[in-house]
Amino acid sequence: MMTENLKQKLKHCSISLLFASMALTGSTSIFAKSPADPNKVLRYVFPTAETGFDPAYIHDLYSAHVTTSIFETLYTYDYLARPAKLIPQIATAMPEVSADGLTYTIRIKKGIYFTPDPVFKGKPRELTANDYAYSFKRLLDPNLRSPNSWLLENKIEGMDALVKAANKSGKFNYDQKVSGLQTPDKYTLVIRLVKPDYNFPLLLAHDPTGAVAREVIEKYKDKAGYVMGHPVGTGPYVLSKWVPASRIVLKANPDYRGFTWNFTASSPEDQAIVKRLKGKKMPQIGTIDIQVMEENQSRWLAFQRGEVDIFQLEGQLVAKAVKDGKLRPELAKEGVQLSRIVDPEISYIYWNLKNPVVGGMSKEKIALRRAIAMSRSIDQEIKLVRNDDAQRLHFPIPPGVVGNDPQYRTSTPYSVKAANLLLDRYHYKKDASGWRTQPDGKPLVIEYMARSDSIGQQSAELWKKNFDSLNIRMVFKPMLFADLIRAQKQCDGMFGSSAWIADYPDGDNFMQNFYGPNTHMTNWSCGSTPEFDQLYRQTQQMQAGAERDALYRKMTRLLEVYMPVQISYARYRNMLAQPKIIGYKKHPILHAEWMYFDIDTNTKSNH
């Protein structure tokens, strides 16, 4: 639950942002530089609440929609290219890499400025290479405990010593020179790695590496060191209004430099997008008005009433708009658009290996986890909970991501009979009431954590049936999304479901979720499998290819043997757009595409 003190702070923050919004919209010259049209308002919806807007802290998809619109990374992705293609954003070109693969030289564009803020004392604040050096150091500051530290941890030469000194002194020295992070001039960043990392350029396109201004952090940081409600960046949008867990309004950054839309079609369907947008100065949309609607039915009704322009349709309501993977004819006739992809994600269940009931590596604990996994029909879950709107996965790297193995098949069978025999073998006996107990005779009760929405409820109902088939008591603990993320990071709870969507399109981004040292960051099983960890470290020094793929298969078998997680499926992402939206296409990696498409203000919805 949110504390009363925090509520008051956030309320104050919302009021301050509202006044800022009034001041911005009252200016006749706000869009003098930005090409955005103030009359073009995109009404968007989140299915769950955001957590805040500090790139070093946020770790959820919905907050990232906002941070990627405000803070800019050195690199980004081509809007239309499939598979995803890395391109410069703040960098002038792709990095210059030394022959040994250790040194990256990156030059950044001149004349890019942070949005005005009182902390800059009325002076224009130019973005420099030092801002990226500071932002990278901040991810590794042990006092922050950033969940995104895994991106750069043990990678940059000299940083480990700085982190070690901070752990000893209790203070991170941001002014300390680091051999692997140099800025020979304002517009040049030189990064030297400890060992080659073939995915390193992809990391520099991930939103936690976006540049923040040190003055802003030091002025507005909270007790934990984060600036959650006062984001100041260089990107196309600024935060105008924020009512936590309810509404977010972004306004076009009046000083944003803009760009000319000049992407190339990668499919026949893209030709229409290119025809309508090529040559336009972007962004075109002046306001992004985001509301949080947790119930699918509410989002669907709002879209039908024309109150929402783009939203993700999921759960039981998918069938109302999509049939056989295509938009229903009655909606297509009205001009509604569908952009549908298999998300580059994995949905999976995890067990907390630190938990005394389901955790640990003893034979009986492994047997319990394996039995629970064997009691579960993933195909049935896809049908009943996801309404056949997901693709079964056997491998922890999804389709469309480098390293995926479409031929791999899991060694974990669906067999309730075998699951019960396994529990019998390891002395999970039944008491007088028929419920199983732990091998030591203590009661066996499994607590299942999931989101408190309709899909979480449906999932819990199905899991209750699975556990009943094993004669194991189950308790459902519904949680708000932000609380669930917090519990996972803190290794609270026993057993739950989660999903991971690609930060970058390589298998490493998925396998790192199960790496022991990433506990409290991305590893929700909160434990270590030494054999897996050793193989993971080997793969990090390998280029994508057959040799690395062979290790990925071995690592996947280890996950099935020790069962810290069970891989489930990848969901389809069904994005519906109103007729007035021009050129929208869901990107597999970019979170928010609204700087790449347009709105036709003369087109009205027929809903």
The residue count for the chain? 607
- Say which residue, 15 or 64, is predicted with more confidence: 64
Within 8 A by CB and 6+ apart from 83, the residues are 400, 505, 588
- pLDDT tens-digit series, residues 278-318: 999 999 999 999 999 988 899 999 999 999 999 998 877 89
Classify domain 345-571 by CATH number: 3.10.105.10
Q: How far apart are CA 100 and CA 562, in angstroms?
A: 37
pLDDT (average), residues 335-358 = 96
Instruction: Give residue 606's pLDDT.
Output: 56
CATH of domain 71-227: 3.90.76.10
Structure tokens at 585: 């296409």
pLDDT for 29: 31
Residue 23 predicted with pLDDT over 60 = no
Q: What pLDDT was estimated at residue 367? A: 98
Domain boundaries defined on the chain: 33-70+235-341+578-606, 71-227, 345-571
- pLDDT of 31 > 50? The answer is no
Cis peptide before 83 (omega within 30 of 0): yes
For strand 96-97 and strand 103-107, is the pairing parallel, antiparallel, or unpaired?
A: antiparallel
Domains 33-70+235-341+578-606 and 345-571 alike in fold: no
Which of 211, 242, 237, 290 is CA-nearest to residue 115?
237
Q: What percent of the chain has pLDDT over 70?
A: 94
Closest CA to 212 of 289, 139, 308: 139
Nearest to 43 by CA among 556, 594, 495, 459: 594
Q: What's the confidence (pLDDT) of residue 607?
A: 54
Per-residue pLDDT tens for 451-460? 888 889 999 9
Per-residue exposure over 494-509, b if at least 16 CB sit within 10 Å of its own CB, e if not: bbbbbebbbbbbbbbb
What pLDDT was estimated at residue 282? 97
Cα maximum dimension of the chain: 78
Tens digit of pLDDT for each residue in 158-214?
Answer: 999 999 999 999 999 999 999 999 999 999 999 999 999 999 999 999 999 999 999
Tell me: the pLDDT tens digits for 487-505?
A: 998 999 999 999 999 999 9
Output 314 or 155, whichever has higher pLDDT. Answer: 155
The tens digit of pLDDT for each residue in 401-422 reads 999 999 999 999 999 999 999 9
Q: Which residues pair with 77 in a beta bridge?
A: 86
pLDDT 10s digits, 549-589: 999 999 999 999 999 999 999 999 999 999 999 999 999 99
pLDDT of 11 reads 42
Confidence (pLDDT) at 482: 81
Go through 113-123 and write b for each residue having 16 or more CB atoms within 10 A of its CB, e for each that does not. Answer: ebbbbebbeee
pLDDT at 296: 85
Give me the pLDDT at residue 16, please.
Answer: 41
**Which pLDDT does position 371 carry in this prediction?**
98
Q: How far apart are CA 313 and CA 555, in angstroms?
A: 34
Helices (H), 479-576: 481-489, 508-511, 530-539, 546-562
Share of the chain above pLDDT 90, in %: 87
Question: In the predicted model, what is the mean pLDDT of residues 239-251?
Answer: 97
In the predicted model, what is the mean pLDDT of residues 22-49? 71
Fold of 33-70+235-341+578-606: D-Maltodextrin-Binding Protein; domain 2 (3.40.190)
In sequence order, the 6+-apart residues with CB closer than 8 A to the CB of 167 are 142
Strands 337-342 vs 445-451: parallel, antiparallel or unpaired: unpaired
